[in-house]
Amino acid sequence: MKDCVKMASSTQFTKDLCTPAFTVDLDTVRRNSDAMLDRFLRLGVQLRPHMKTHKTIECADIMTRGSRRCIVVSTLAEASFYADGGYDDILYAYPVTSDKVQRCAELSEKLSLFHVLVDNSLALQELKARPLKQGKVWNVWLKLDCDNGRVGIPHSDPAALQLAKEISEAEGVELTGIYAHCGNTYGCKGEEQIKAIAQETTSSVLQFVEKLKAVGIQDVKSSIGSTPSCSHPVLDMAMLSEVHPGNYVFYDVQQMLIGSCRLEDIAVRVLTRIIGHYPHRNQLLVDCGWAALSHDGGGRLPTGYAIIDGHPDLKLVSMTQEHGRVEPISGKLDFSQFPLGSMLSLLPYHACATAMMHPVYIVHSKGKVVGTWKPTRGW
Amino acid sequence: MKDCVKMASSTQFTKDLCTPAFTVDLDTVRRNSDAMLDRFLRLGVQLRPHMKTHKTIECADIMTRGSRRCIVVSTLAEASFYADGGYDDILYAYPVTSDKVQRCAELSEKLSLFHVLVDNSLALQELKARPLKQGKVWNVWLKLDCDNGRVGIPHSDPAALQLAKEISEAEGVELTGIYAHCGNTYGCKGEEQIKAIAQETTSSVLQFVEKLKAVGIQDVKSSIGSTPSCSHPVLDMAMLSEVHPGNYVFYDVQQMLIGSCRLEDIAVRVLTRIIGHYPHRNQLLVDCGWAALSHDGGGRLPTGYAIIDGHPDLKLVSMTQEHGRVEPISGKLDFSQFPLGSMLSLLPYHACATAMMHPVYIVHSKGKVVGTWKPTRGW
C-alpha cells in the first residue's frame, strides 16, 4: 500500500496509479464545503459538520475552515482521533453505553467541550455514576426521533419531556441540546419532498424546545441534520442553533438521486483497471470488487453497483471480493474501446460506505495528485 | 480503538467489551485449520491456504502450522505484509497488471518463491519487459476458467493452450502451474452438488495438464480451490498438486447454507450491544451497522443480515452505518429479555466481508480473551 501511494504521488494520475484507488477531487470538496458553510452562515445557524463520511483530519480542516472546533462524530475512535489531532467541541452523536462511559469521561475532562447523546434513563444513570473531575459537567444532548425511526424518543411521547427534565435536574449533568437526525429524507425524490421533511423535523424540534421553556428549562440548543435537508434548508431552520450534515463534502449517486446535489458535485471516485476481456460472456472484468466499493445500494441502479463515469451504457453487474464484472446494458461490447490495463472511473452509490473500504484516499486537483489522506477507523 | 482493545483484554469477555467487536474463537479456528491440513495430507496434496479472509500473521501461522511457507494472497498489500512477516512461497492469485509489475518483480527478487497469475498475452509481455535480476525467472500460473465465469481463459478454448505455450517458451518466465477457482460451488446446496463441481473442475484442470504434456510441456503444477470443494473433496483431487481454499478457517452462515460446514464450525461473531428499546415499533436497536457487519448477503436470510446466536426468532432487519434494527420474526418482542446494554452475538453471512470491516479481531479461547489480531488492508 505504501508503495502504491508513492507511485500515485510521483507519476501521472491516471496511468500508473495503483488500482483500485479511492480518489477525492479537492476542488469539489472545497466547493461543497464552502457552499454548506456559507448557506448556514447566511441563515445565522452554526454548522457542526459530521466526520463519519471521510474520518480524516485534512477534510475536517476544510469543513471547519481551519477552526478545528465544532464537529460531530459517530464513533469514539473518531472522537479520540480528532481530539488527538487538536480538535475541540466534539459531539459524539451516538447513544452512550456502559462500555464507553469511561472513555467519554476522559474526553470530557481533556477537552474544553465534549458532548454525549442520550435517549434513555439508564444512560443518564451511568453518566451520573461517573462524575467528571475538575468541576466539569456532562454535556448531554437528548436524542429525539422526529419520525426517522432509528435512535431517539418519539418527539410527541411524554417520556421525551420527562427524560429532558431528568437530565436537566441531574447533578453533574447539563441538558445542552436537543438532537434529531432527519434520515427519513433518504426516502425523498427531489427538493420539494426534502423540504417537507426538513420542515417537519425542524418544527418538531422547535416545538419541543418551547415545551421545555414552558416547564422552566431554558437555553437548550437545537440541532437537526442530514445532507438532503441541509442542502435544501427551509427558512425555519434559521431558528435552530445548529445543523450537522456530513456526506455533502463528498456527495454520491444516492444523494444525486434524492436530489441533494448534481452529478458534478460528486467529489469521489473509485478508479479501477480493466483486468480481463471475456467476449464469450460479453464482459469486462475490473479490479474493483466489494472490497473497494462496498455492497451499498445492492446493485439496484440501472447501471448496477455504481455509475461508470462517461459510460452510461455500461453496468457493473456483480462483484466478488476483488473483482467486478462489467457489461453493456444492451448489445455487444466493443472491446477495442476498453483496452486491458486502461481505467474506468466509478461513481459510488454511497460515499460513506465506499470511503470506509479504503486505508488511503488519493487527493487530486486539476488532474494532478496533490496528496493522500488517511482516515481513522474502528470504534 | 486502542483503549477498546485494552479494555477487552483486561476484563471479562462479554461484559465490558467495547462493541461492536469482531471475535474469533481460537479453538474453532485451530480445529478448522487442522481438519483441512489433515484432509489434504491424507490425499497427498499440498494445501496452499488463502489469506484473503483474515489477512493476519497469527491466523496464517495456524493455517501453515508454523511453516510460514506456501500461501495464496489476493492483493499485493497482503503479499508485502506476509513477505515482511517472514513468509515465503507466496502466490499472488490475481491477474497481474502494469501498475503492479515492478512491485511483483521486487517480491520475486526478494523471496525464494513468488508466483504471479496470468490469463492474457499482454500481461506476459509486461513481465518479459521487466526481466528479473539475480538469474531469477518469473513463476507464472495460467488461470483457467473452469465454468466459474470470473477470471481465466475457458479451459476448452484453444487460446488457453496457446497462451500456455507462449508462457513456457518465453525467456525469463516459467510456466509453474495451472490455477482454477471453483467459485461456482457458491451456488451449491449440499455435499452432492459441491462434489459434482469439484469433480468437473478437477477433471478440466487435469485434462488441461495432459494436453500440455502432449505438446511437450512437462512438470506443470495444478491447483484448484474454494472452501466448499476443499471441505468435501472428491478422490480425483488427490491427483492435483495443490489446493487453495481460504474461508474455511472462519467459515460463516453462507458456507453453512452451501453445506461446507456446520453451525458449530463458524469461528467468528460480531458482538453487539443493545442500545435502544422502541416498543412503539416493536424493535431493538443494536450498535452493529454495516460498518461492522458489511452489507454482504443483502439481508435475504430468514433472519435478515445475520443469524443472531441463540435467538432464531429474531431478525436483523436493516442497518445504517452504525445502527442495526432488530425485531422478532413474528409477534411482540418481550423487551425484558433484552436489557439495554446487554449483548447479542451475530453470526456473519460472509466472514471475509465482515472481517474486512474491522481493524482488530478479539481472539478468545474457552470464554477468555487471549489476544488481538490486526489484519493488513489495501492493495
The overall average pLDDT reported for chain A is 95
Q: Could you give the percent of chain A with pLDDT greater than 70?
A: 96
pLDDT at B10: 38
Q: Say if CB B137 and CB B143 are below 8 A apart.
A: no
- Name the 3-class secondary structure at B40: helix
Look up cell 417537519; give the residue: A200
Pair A375, A43: CB distance under 8 Å: no
All structural domains of chain A, each given as residue ranges with its CATH number in brackets, are 2-23+262-373 (2.40.37.20), 45-248 (3.20.20.10)
What is the bridge-based pairing of β-strands A268-278 and A343-348?
antiparallel
**Nearest-CB residue to A1 (from B123, B280, B378):** B378
pLDDT in tens, B145-155: 999 999 999 99
B123 in the Ramachandran plot: left (φ > 0), alpha (ψ -120 to 50) or beta? Answer: alpha
Nearest Cα to Cα of residue A328 among A254, A268, A278 = A278
Nearest chain A Cα distance for residue B42, angstroms: 31
What is the model's pLDDT at position B166? 98
Q: Residue A14: its pLDDT value, please?
A: 62
Q: Quick check: B321 and A74 CB within 8 A?
A: yes
- Taking the CA of residue A218 and the nearest CA in chain B, the distance in Å comes to 27
Could you tell me where the DSSP H helices lie in B215-304? 227-231, 253-258, 290-293
Condensed to tens digits (0 to 9), the pLDDT of residues A247-278 reads 999 999 999 999 999 999 999 999 999 999 99
Cα–Cα distance between A224 and A141 in angstroms, integer?
Answer: 12
Q: What pLDDT was estimated at residue A109?
A: 98
Using 50, 70 and 90 to split pLDDT, how confident is the model at A68?
Answer: very high
Residue B377, φ and ψ in degrees, nearest 5: -155, 180
Q: Which residues of A touch B150 (CB under 8 A)?
A: 285, 320, 323, 325
| pLDDT tens digits, one per residue of A323-354 | 999 999 999 999 999 999 999 999 999 999 99
**Omega within 30 of 0 (cis) for the link into A20:** yes
Q: Which residues of A fall within a CB distance of 8 Å from B326?
A: none
**Cα separation of B161 and B175, whole Å?**
12
A292–B contact, CB cutoff 8 A: yes
Length of chain A: 379
Contact flag B377-A359 (C-beta cutoff 8 Å):
yes
* pLDDT in the model for residue B8: 40
Task: Tell me if B276 and A120 make a contact (CB, 8 A cut-off).
Answer: yes
The runs of H, that is alpha helices, within chain B are 2-10, 26-43, 57-63, 76-84, 101-110, 121-128, 158-169, 191-214, 227-231, 253-258, 290-293, 351-355
A134 CB neighbour count, 10 Å cutoff: 7
Residues of B in contact with A72 (CB under 8 A): none
| CA angle at B119 for the pair A284 and B213, rounded to the nearest 5° | 145
- Identify the pLDDT of residue B4: 47
Of the candidates B356, B361, B379, the one whose C-alpha atom is nearest the C-alpha of residue B371 is B361
For B355, the closest chain A residue by CA position comes to A291
Whether the Cβ atoms of residue A15 and residue B374 lie closer than 8 Å to each other: no
Q: Is B154 on the interface with A (CB under 8 A)?
A: yes
Chain A partners within 8 Å of B340 (Cβ)? 97, 120, 122-123
Model pLDDT for residues A278-305, shown as the tens digit of each residue: 999 999 999 999 999 999 999 999 999 9
The answer, yes or no, to whether the previous bond of B20 is cis (omega within 30 of 0) is yes
Question: What pLDDT, in 10s, does the model give residues A158-174?
Answer: 999 999 999 999 999 99
Amino acid letter, residue B246: G
pLDDT at A13 (0 to 100): 58
Bridge partners of residue A328, in order along the sequence:
A314
Kindly tell me if the per-residue pLDDT of A8 is higher than 80. no
pLDDT of residue A15: 72
Contact B57, B358 (CB under 8 A): no
Give whole-number Cα distances, B128 to A144, A219, B140, B172, in Å. 64, 73, 11, 7
Cross-strand pairs, B116: B92, B140
User: What gap in Å lies between CA B105 and CA A222, rounded to an integer?
Assistant: 58
- pLDDT tens string A11-60: 345 678 999 999 999 999 999 999 999 999 999 999 999 999 999 999 99
C-alpha cell of A312? Answer: 452510461
The CA angle B51-B57-B61, to the nearest 5 degrees, is 85
Residue ranges of chain B with per-residue pLDDT less than 50: 1-12
Contacts of A100 in chain B (CB under 8 A): 18
Position B13 scores a pLDDT of: 58
Q: Which of B151, B157, B281 sits opposite A149 (nearest CB)?
A: B281
B45-56 pLDDT, tens per residue? 999 999 999 999
Best of A150, A182, A318, A376 to substitute, by most chain B Cβ atoms within 10 angstroms, is A150
CA distance A246 to B327: 29
Q: What is the pLDDT of residue B1?
A: 44
